[in-house]
Amino acid sequence: MSRRNYVNEINFVTGNKHKLEEVKHILEPYGISVKRVTVDKLEIQSNDLCEIAEYSAKIVAERLRIPVVVEDAGLFIEALNGFPGPYSSYVFKTIGNEGILKLMRGVKNRRARFVSAVAYASPNGFVKVFIGVTEGLISIEPRGEYGFGFDPIFIPYEGDGRTFGEMTLDEKSRISHRGKAFRSLAKWLTGH
C-alpha cells in the first residue's frame, strides 16, 4: 500500500488567506486538514501554470524536507488572448478589476476561464499536478463582496448568473477551478 493512503494533512504553501480558507473548506469533507506553510517568494517566470506550481512545489519540498502542496491560479480572457493568465497576480495588484473592465469596454466576446494548477511534491523529487478549470464570462460591472481577486467580475457558466463575488465560499467552491483541482488531489491522497 502506498504511503499516500494515510494522508490526512497537507502542508499548503500560500501567502493568500482567502485561498487557505477555500482549501480548508474544500478538503474538510475528505478528512484532510490544512497546515499553512509560508516561504519566500520563489515563482519562476513561465507561461504555464502547471510548470510554475510544479517547480515551486519541488523546490519547497526539497528545502523543507516535507511533502508540500502549491497552487498557481489565473484568469484567462479569450478576447485578450489569454491575458492576464500567469500574470494574474501582478495584473490584479496593478490595474485591478477596474483595469480589466476598462480593457473589456465595448468587447462583445466576454468569455474567460479560471484555471488552477495544484502540485503535490515530496522531498524525494516526486511531483504530481492536478488541474481545475471553470469557464464563464467577464461581467460588465464588478458585483459582490465575497471572495477575492477577480471574483467580482467573473460569472461562471455553472452558476445562476451571479459572479463568484456574489457567492458564499461554499457556493463558489462547488464549481470553482480551485474546488475541482483540490478535490482531484483529495481523491488521489485518500486513494479514492
Residue nearest to ligand IMP (CB): 149
User: Cβ of residue 21: shortest distance to ligand IMP, in angstroms?
Assistant: 11
Identify whether the C-beta of residue 49 lies closer than 8 Å to the C-beta of residue 73.
yes
Distance in angstroms (rounded) separating the CA atoms of residues 61 and 13: 10
In the complex with ligand IMP, the residue whose CB is nearer, 88 or 122, is 88
In the complex with ligand IMP, the residue whose CB is nearer, 7 or 153, is 153
The answer to the question of residue 149 lying near ligand IMP (CB under 6 A) is yes
Question: Active-site residue 72, yes or no?
Answer: yes
The answer to the question of residue 72 lying near ligand IMP (CB under 6 A) is yes
Residue corresponding to grid cell 479514492: 192
Which one among 55, 67, 88, 100 touches ligand IMP, defined by CB under 6 A? 88
Which one among 12, 120, 150, 182 touches ligand IMP, defined by CB under 6 A? 150
Beta-carbon contacts of residue 128 (< 8 Å; ≥ 6 apart): 119, 120, 121, 188
The answer to the question of residue 113 lying near ligand IMP (CB under 6 A) is no
Vertex 75: Cα angle to 69 and 77 (nearest 5):
155
In 3D, which of 24, 37, 50 has the Cα closest to residue 131?
50
**113 strand-pairing partners:** 76, 135
Query: Applying CB under 6 A, which residues contact ligand IMP?
Result: 16, 71-75, 88-89, 92, 147-151, 164, 176, 178
Active site residues: 72
